[in-house]
Amino acid sequence: MNNMNRQRGFSLLELMIAFCVASILVTIGMVTVANLRDRAMLAVFQNDISIIRQAAVRFQQDCGFFPPNVDSGVDPGLANQYGWQLGNHSPDWETLTCDNWRGPYLREWPHNPWGGLYGWSNFPGQYGPWGIPGAGAYLTLQSSDWGGANGMPDAVFEKMAEEMGLDRSPMKGVIAVWMGKDQPAGGTQPAAR
């Protein structure tokens, strides 16, 4: 008769243990998903770097110089021969021309995996902005809203990029990947119109 009077169900202690186990499993799952997402974004970013670098090298081989410095989101001439002239660009490049352009080298100028803009920077001098060493061309990550964080990776990704040797900018919130150095044919400057 004692067995029949016993209540069926879980004790408070059993419910608490089940809740703790479920919480631990959910936390592990969330960390794993976040880690997988970061790794996937890194793979896409590395693929973009490779494709853009190959396009820029082909542009340099045809034109004798890397594409000029342009504003974020503006094609530097890899998808459209005079892409840099369609947006704001450095006055140093206003008369630049390339008669041997054999592009398009890219289908279109891409957005970064976070939805922001890729920038193209070519600093012929000793130093560039954001503490980037000059005398080279860089692919930069820029936010989709000027000065904001929209379309930018988080600080964890930036640290990963620095540890892998991808990020050449010492400033936080700026990721700059070195793409190469101009080597004009015959030691001359790029041809100007």
> Over the stretch 124-151, which tens digit does the pLDDT of each residue have?
776 677 677 777 888 888 776 655 667 7
Residues 49 and 43: their CA atoms lie apart, in Å, by 10
Q: How many other C-beta atoms are found inside a 10 Å radius of the C-beta of residue 36?
A: 10
Dist. CA 141–CA 152, nearest whole Å: 7
**Residues 56, 78 contacting (CB under 8 angstroms):** yes
Q: What is the pLDDT at residue 2?
A: 56
Are residues 127 and 57 in contact, defined by beta-carbon separation less than 8 angstroms?
Answer: no
User: 45-90: per-residue pLDDT in tens?
Assistant: 999 999 999 999 999 999 888 888 887 788 888 998 877 776 655 5
Q: Specify the pTM.
A: 0.72
pLDDT of residue 81: 82
Asked if residue 188 has pLDDT above 60, the reply is: no
Least confident of 14-18, 34-38, 155-159, 177-181: 34-38
How far, in Å, CA of 53 to CA of 177, rounded?
A: 10
More confident residue, 7 or 22: 22
What is the model's pLDDT at position 99? 84
Altogether, the residues listed in the chain come to a count of 193
Domains of the chain by residue range: 11-187
Q: How far is it, in rounded angstroms, from Cα 184 to Cα 193?
A: 16
Question: What pLDDT shows up at residue 187?
Answer: 36
Distances (CA, A) of 172 to 24, 87, 157: 33, 27, 11
148: Cβ contacts below 8 Å, ≥ 6 apart? none
Cα 117 to Cα 70: distance, rounded to the nearest angstrom = 12
Q: Which fold has domain 11-187?
A: Glycoprotein, Type 4 Pilin (3.30.700)
